[in-house]
Structure formats: structure tokens, C-alpha cells
Amino acid sequence: MITLVCGTHRPKNVTRRIVAKYKELLEAEGAQVETFELENLPRDFVFEDSFGKRSDQTEQIIHEKLLPAEKLVFISPEYNGSYPGVLKAFLDGVKPHIWKGKKAALVGVASGRAGNIRGMDHLTHVLHHLRIEVFSNKVPISKVDGLLNDQGELVDPETIAVLSKQVKEFIQY
């Protein structure tokens, strides 16, 4: 199973549009896919749930989305030249043994020019520390707003082709 992680908790975020297209591409290749949006974390996750008493909601996320996943795809927007703090808090708040041995692909999303390249590099270092192997074909998506149609769907053929290539290679990884 592959779990797609929408790396932000911002309401009405554009990143979830990329997650939706990525899920569609994975399913077209026959992959079993789960999605997890960080906005579904308990509201007190950072201060209580991650280091204290574990809520039923977080236990369910771990047991349904993380433990069965052999592979993870982190699709993360650029926040202040890196990835969102809520994603770091999530990685920190889950016991390291749960991450160990998994494989991950990264997709960066930005409204600017760099497609969150720096954030993907930062995330790679953290994932390596957690003993997650990171797939080398990372996809930066720049100027994302111009790649969506009026319904918010990713329709840019070049971006879809690059994501499709990553999907096919990552399935084999």
C-alpha cells in the first residue's frame, strides 16, 4: 500500500489538488492507495497527542494510514523556504520505529518559481534520519495556480507527464 500525505493543514489548500491527481495516477497503475491530509490531525496533536496520551483519532491514523504502508508520498507546499511545520510536528510525534524501512517519494508545490526544492531537501534529511529511503526522482511543481483549471484540477500536460513518470518509477522502487 502507498499512503499519500498532504503536507499541510491549511484550509482549502492547493496541495490537495495535486494529491488528488497523484492518487488518480497511482490507481491507474493498479496501486492500492490511502490518502492522509494533515488537517485531519487532532487539534491538540502538537501539544498533547504527540508526546503524551495518544488519542483514538491519532491511533486510527497510525494503524490505517502508516503501519500498512510500504511506501509514502509526501506532497508538500513551500512555507518560508521549507516544508510546513505541521509536517515536521507530525513526523516528530510518531514513534520512529513506525517510519523505519519505508520508502518515500517527494513532490514539492509552490506558487513561486522553485517548486519547493529547498523544502524537499530539508525533508529528505529528516526522512533519512528516520531511516526512510527517499526516491531520487523528486518533482518540484512551480507556479501551481497556473496549472489548474477553473475547478481546481491539475490539467497541465507537462506536469501530469512528470508526475506520471515519477509514479511509474516509484511503484518499481
Mean pLDDT of 17-30: 97
Fold of 2-172: Rossmann fold (3.40.50)
Grid cell for residue 48: 498533547
User: Is the pLDDT confidence value at 171 over 90?
Assistant: yes
As a whole number, the mean pLDDT across the chain is: 94
Grid cell for residue 70: 510500504
Number of H helices, E strands in the chain: 6, 6
User: Is the pLDDT confidence value at 1 over 80?
Assistant: yes
Most confident of 33-37, 43-47, 56-60: 33-37
Nearest-angstrom CA–CA distance, 6 and 73: 9
pLDDT of residue 44: 82
pLDDT of residue 148: 93
Look at 11 and 106; give whichever has higher pLDDT. Answer: 106
Mean pLDDT of 69-76: 98
Determine contact, residues 173/135, Cβ cutoff 8 Å: yes
User: Is the pLDDT confidence value at 49 over 80?
Assistant: no
Residue spans of beta strands (DSSP E) within 14-127: 33-37, 71-77, 103-109
